A and B are shown apart, each in its own frame.
Chain A
C-alpha cells in the first residue's frame, strides 16, 4: 500500500506492506537509521519518535497508521546547520549518553516531556522515562541533562 507523510518537515511517500512498522519504514524505507529498535515488547523506547507532536514507540505502530501524519525523528532535532538543540546539547554537556543506542529515544522522550511540562521535578523526569531503558548511564546523567535542558539548577548531589 502507498503512504505519504511528513518526516522532519519534508514530504515523504513510500510503498509498504500492512505489517510494516513505522520504525521499519523509517529505517529501511527512508534510511533514517537514527531510530533504533532495542526490544520487541514495547519497553525499551529506543524507537521513540513523535507522531503529530506526541511521543510514540515507532516499533509499536504500523507505518500505515502514520499515513498523513507529521513524524519527527532524532535526525530532525538539530538545526539545519547541524547545531544541536537545547536537549541534545544538554545530553552532551552532562555526559547523558555512553553507547548512544538508547539516546535517540531518550532525546525524543525528553522533548515530549519538556513540551508537556517545561519545569519538571527530578521525580517527574524519572517517571516520564518509564518507557526508556538505558543500560550504560545508570540514568544519573540523563536525568541531569534533562533538568539542565529545562533551565533548572541541579540538586547538590548531581551538581558536580
Chain B
C-alpha cells in the first residue's frame, strides 16, 4: 500500500469536511477498498474511515419503508431487516461471515461493482439513496461499471427501501470469488414488478424491462419462462460466456419469481 493519512471522524459533517482534502477517499467496510489498496491500484492521500460514525448505522422501519444507515454492516442487515426478508436474505449471502461483519451497504453501493448484490436489491426495490447532500432515486443512481451519481466526497448516509409485496433474490455464484456470476432481484409492488440483474452485463446492474412487463401482467413463472434476453451486452470471461449469462438471467428470474410467489 502507498502511505496515506488516516482520519476517523465521529460525525457525517466531520467526514464530509475531511473528504474535501485533495485525493481524500472514504473508507467504508474496506472489504473491496483494502484489497485494492494492497494491489496499489489506488493512492489516496487520506482515508476517511466512516466506521466511527454512529449515526450512519442501524436498521429501522416506518410506514412500509425500511431505512438502513449507510454504515450498516451486511451482517446487521441480515439480522435486523426482518421487515424485508428478501433483502435480509440477500445481505446474509454477501461474501462470507467475516466480510459481512465489516462490509457495509453504503460501501457496496458507492463502489457499484458490476457483480455486487446490493445494486440489484436497490434497483429492483426502487430504493432511494440518501447522501449528506441529497436524495437520489436508484434509477438515477447507477451509471455503469463502478460508476454512480455520487459526486466527489459525497457520502451515502442511508438507503430507503420501500418494502415490496413480494420479493426474492437469486444469486448464481462465480465459483472463485463467490460474487454473483448472475444475480436477479425481483420485487413486486403495487406499482408493478421490477427485475434488476447484477453480474451479467458489461454495463453493470440493469433492469430487465421485458420481464418486468410480463411479470407486472402475470406474476408467475409462466410469464417469464419463455422470455429470452440478448447475449450481446453480457459479460464473457473465464467463468461463463455471454450466452451462459443470458441463460442465467432468465433462469434466476424464473427461480426468483417461484420463490417469491
Please report A residues at the B interface, Cβ cutoff 8 Å.
Answer: 1, 17-19, 21, 40-43, 45, 48, 54-57, 59-62, 64-65, 67, 109, 112-113, 128, 130-132
Question: When each residue 29-42 of chain B gets 1 if its CB lies under 8 Å from chain A and 0 otherwise, what string results?
Answer: 01100110111000
Question: Which of A45, A54, A64, A109 lies in contact with B49, CB distance below 8 A?
Answer: A64
Question: Which of A45, A57, A67, A109 lies in contact with B102, CB distance below 8 A?
Answer: A57
Question: A60–B2 contact, CB under 8 A?
Answer: no
- For chain B, give the interface size range: 20 to 34
Task: Please report the number of residue pairs spanning A and B whose Cβ atoms sit closer than 8 angstroms.
Answer: 77
Instruction: Answer whether A56 and B98 are a contact pair too, CB < 8 Å, given A61-B30, A62-B30.
Output: yes
Question: B37–A45 contact, CB under 8 A?
Answer: no
A-contacting residues, B88-113, CB 8 Å:
95-99, 101-102
Question: A18–B35 contact, CB under 8 A?
Answer: no
Question: A112–B8 contact, CB under 8 A?
Answer: no
Question: Which of A41, A43, A109 lies in contact with B97, CB distance below 8 A?
Answer: A109
Residue of A whose beta carbon sits closest to that of B36: A41
Question: B47–A18 contact, CB under 8 A?
Answer: yes
Question: A17–B31 contact, CB under 8 A?
Answer: no
Question: Which of B2, B8, B35, B99 lies in contact with A40, CB distance below 8 A?
Answer: B35
Question: When each residue 19-36 of chain B gets 1 if its CB lies under 8 Å from chain A and 0 otherwise, what string results?
Answer: 000000001001100110
Distance A139 CA – B99 CA, assembled complex (angstroms): 20
Instruction: Write 21 A-B pairs (CB below 8 A) sorted by A numbering.
Output: A1-B6, A18-B3, A18-B6, A18-B47, A19-B2, A19-B37, A40-B39, A43-B177, A45-B98, A54-B75, A55-B98, A56-B101, A60-B31, A61-B34, A62-B27, A64-B8, A65-B49, A128-B97, A130-B96, A131-B95, A131-B98
Instruction: Answer whether A62 and B96 are a contact pair too, CB < 8 Å, given A42-B35, A55-B101.
Output: no
